[in-house]
């Protein structure tokens, strides 16, 4: 009604504009994906360029590149200099494929259709309580990821890049035993295990993941030579014996029954006095922003998993014959939930 609309106060207008801007915000990751795919940032590694130079080197449309850079500059990722050339800011540097802790594979994984498209079906997920993945892709997430080597490498390299920036501080947050075997269950390409073995020099490490994943491991590093082995397998079927199990960013992929199977397999194989370290986000109470609240919704739309609270972890562990002994903060978005035998 026109009279009511004109009666809106400044606060109403601001609230409406805020929600409209929220609805528009999906264009940012779309733009981020486009520049990551076309390698735009890599061409700025040696300094700023004009849009024409940059478009020529990246092989992209000049005017559309200008518009894309202008959008991402509002997020501080690129910057336009006074002479009209464009450069990468400090925050934009990890877009480069050769940056020390590159974010590029993680950006490509997070914005790939296997994670992105199910979020577009969130209304159905909300109504019916089941993930949209199988309707869209005809199979469960990890089968889809493993459908060919290229898809698998893209996902697992993306996951490795997602984890690389957090692995060292997490490894440094825990007082690992002086000797024994540590197994990373669902450890991907081994980035976390590598950091643990670097710090805990008396430990032997085992990397357990699907055969096609461990085949692309990154453990061939002089510093840890002779102290690791691969254990290609299925953590739902069997987990070999070890003293310390690490289960990082794995339980959040699965529903409670599936988690109890994984943890139960660790419990059964665990050496006397052993422990399980669940490394995952522990969702805090309240409405503060937390990366895990966004990841949780990705998991809700695309997988069977969820992010969990401390009480939810305690229940899962108990159901698997374990007991939560403490939650250790790591200075990253993840915590270490330590568990020992429940009896």
Ligand X SMILES: C[S@@+](CC[C@H](N)C(=O)[O-])C[C@H]1O[C@@H](n2cnc3c(N)ncnc32)[C@H](O)[C@@H]1O
Q: Which is nearer to ligand X, 58 or 219 (CB)?
A: 219
- 18 sits near ligand X (criterion: CB under 6 A): no
Provide the mask over 181-200, with x wherever binding to ligand X is found by CB under 6 A and - wherever it is not.
Answer: -----xxx---x--------
Residue count at the site for ligand X (CB under 6 A)? 18
Stretch that binds ligand X, among 71-79, 104-112, 243-251, 266-274 (CB under 6 A): 243-251
Q: Distance between CA 268 and CA 324 in Å, rounded?
A: 16
- 213 sits near ligand X (criterion: CB under 6 A): yes
- Interface residue with ligand X among 41, 250, 260, 324 (CB under 6 A) is 250
- Interface residue with ligand X among 97, 101, 236, 294 (CB under 6 A) is 236
- 303 sits near ligand X (criterion: CB under 6 A): no
Taking the complex as a whole, how short is the minimal distance between the CB of residue 342 and ligand X, in angstroms? 23
| Active-site hit among 128, 156, 252, 290 | 252
CB-nearest residue to ligand X: 186
The question of whether 252 is a catalytic residue gets the answer yes
Q: Which is nearer to ligand X, 50 or 332 (CB)?
A: 332
Taking the complex as a whole, how short is the minimal distance between the CB of residue 26 and ligand X, in angstroms? 23
Q: Which is nearer to ligand X, 50 or 165 (CB)?
A: 165
Provide the mask over 137-166, with x wherever binding to ligand X is found by CB under 6 A and - wherever it is not.
Answer: -----x-------------x--x---x---
Taking the complex as a whole, how short is the minimal distance between the CB of residue 187 and ligand X, in angstroms? 5
- 253 sits near ligand X (criterion: CB under 6 A): yes
Going 122 to 72 to 291 to 24, the CA torsion angle's sign is: negative
- Interface residue with ligand X among 107, 109, 210, 224 (CB under 6 A) is 210
- 249 sits near ligand X (criterion: CB under 6 A): yes
- 51 sits near ligand X (criterion: CB under 6 A): no
Q: Distance between CA 95 and CA 98 in Å, rounded?
A: 9
- 317 sits near ligand X (criterion: CB under 6 A): no
Taking the complex as a whole, how short is the minimal distance between the CB of residue 152 and ligand X, in angstroms? 8
Stretch that binds ligand X, among 45-53, 68-76, 221-229, 244-252 (CB under 6 A): 244-252
Buried b (16+ CB within 10 A) or exposed e, 35-74: bbebbbbbbbeeebbebeebbeebebeeeebbebbebbee
| Residues labelled catalytic | 252
Chain residues in the site for ligand X (CB under 6 A): 142, 156, 159, 163, 186-188, 192, 209-210, 213, 234-236, 248-250, 253
């Amino acid at each position: 009604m026109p009279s009511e609309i004109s009666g809106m106060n400044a606060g109403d207008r601001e609230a409406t504009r805020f929600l409209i801007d929220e609805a528009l915000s999906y264009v940012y990751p779309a733009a981020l994906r486009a520049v990551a795919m076309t390698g735009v940032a890599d061409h700025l590694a040696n300094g700023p360029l004009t849009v024409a130079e940059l478009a020529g080197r990246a092989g992209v449309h000049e005017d559309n590149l200008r518009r894309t850079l202008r959008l991402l500059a509002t997020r501080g990722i690129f910057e336009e200099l006074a002479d009209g050339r464009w450069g990468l800011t400090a925050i934009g540097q990890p877009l480069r494929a050769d940056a020390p802790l590159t974010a590029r594979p993680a950006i490509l994984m997070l914005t790939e259709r296997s994670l992105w498209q199910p979020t577009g079906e969130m209304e159905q997920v909300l109504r019916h309580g089941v993930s949209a993945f199988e309707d869209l892709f005809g199979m469960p997430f990890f089968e889809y990821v493993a459908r060919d080597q290229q898809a698998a490498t893209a996902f697992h390299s993306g996951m490795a890049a997602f984890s690389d920036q957090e692995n060292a501080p997490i490894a440094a947050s825990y007082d690992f035993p002086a000797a024994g075997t540590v197994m990373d269950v669902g450890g991907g390409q081994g980035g976390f295990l590598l950091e643990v073995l670097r710090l805990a020099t008396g430990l032997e490490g085992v990397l357990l993941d699907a055969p096609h994943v461990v085949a692309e491991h990154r453990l061939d590093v002089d510093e840890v030579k002779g102290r690791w082995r691969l254990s290609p397998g299925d953590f739902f079927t069997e987990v070999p014996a070890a003293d310390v199990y690490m289960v990082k960013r794995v339980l959040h992929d699965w529903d409670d029954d599936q988690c109890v199977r994984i943890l139960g397999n660790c419990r059964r194989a665990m050496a006397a006095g052993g422990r399980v370290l669940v490394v995952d986000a522990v969702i805090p109470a309240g409405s503060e922003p937390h990366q895990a609240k966004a990841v949780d919704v990705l998991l809700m739309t695309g997988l069977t998993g969820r992010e969990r609270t401390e009480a939810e972890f305690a229940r899962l562990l108990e159901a698997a014959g374990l007991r939560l002994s403490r939650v250790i903060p790591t200075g990253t978005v993840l915590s270490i939930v330590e568990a020992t035998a429940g009896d």
